[in-house]
Amino acid sequence: MLIDKNVIGRTGEARAIEIEKGAIRKFVEAIGDKNPLYCDEAYAQANGYASLVAPPTFPTTFRLPLPDVHFELSRVLHGEQEYTYERPIVAGDVLRCSSRVADVYERSGKLGNMTFLVTEIIGEDVGGHLVFSGRSTIILR
């Protein structure tokens, strides 16, 4: 197995992430979503938001450390990703985010053994209220 199962349950150091308009705009451009909530601040404000709204998959851009988990990026395949929201992420938010190793397991495939790394992420606002949570599975071959 490429990752020791003893890392299951370990949580990385929390980091403050400031949500910037420019980062949202770049992400929206990359995914090609023209929803005006994501790219037109006046429209977002007219619909009750303080600023631009981040698309639901925006936390994928957050880079958070996982303790004692090391792998070669060239060996990574994206397996699965899901997010749950208490409220939308909006430009100007400062989120305290941390990630945790939820599971590590191995499966055999046509090309041999593959290690599956399941991680979870949470993002809280400055008041300590949960904004979103997510779960991701990557496959190491």
% of the chain at pLDDT higher than 70? 99
Regarding pTM above 0.85, the answer is: yes
- pLDDT of res. 1: 67
The answer as to whether 29 is a domain residue is no
When divided into structural domains, the chain yields a total of 1
- pLDDT of res. 21: 97
The boundaries of the domain holding residue 113 are: 5-19+57-140
pLDDT bin (cut points 50, 70, 90) of residue 6 is: very high
The CATH number of the domain where 76 resides is what? 3.10.129.10
Whether residue 14 has pLDDT greater than 70: yes
- pLDDT of res. 70: 83
The answer as to whether 30 is a domain residue is no
pLDDT mean over 85-102: 98
pLDDT mean over 32-58: 97
The answer as to whether 28 is a domain residue is no
In 6-26, which positions are buried (b, 16+ CB within 10 angstroms) versus exposed (e)?
ebeeeebebeebebeeebbee
Average confidence score pLDDT of the chain: 94
User: In this predicted model, which residue has the larger pLDDT, 134 or 69?
Assistant: 134
The answer as to whether 41 is a domain residue is no
Predicted confidence (pLDDT) per residue in 106-126, tens digit? 999 887 899 999 999 999 999
The answer as to whether 52 is a domain residue is no
The answer as to whether 50 is a domain residue is no
In whole angstroms, what is the distance from residue 80 CA to residue 102 CA? 14
In whole angstroms, what is the distance from residue 122 CA to residue 14 CA? 9
The answer as to whether 81 is a domain residue is yes
Nearest to residue 59, comparing CAs of 133, 127, 118, 137? 133
Write phi, then psi, for 23 (nearest 5 degrees): -65, -40
pLDDT mean over 40-61: 97
* DSSP β-bridge partners for residue 121: 99, 134
- pLDDT of res. 66: 86
The answer as to whether 33 is a domain residue is no
Residue type, 94: V
% of the chain at pLDDT higher than 90? 84
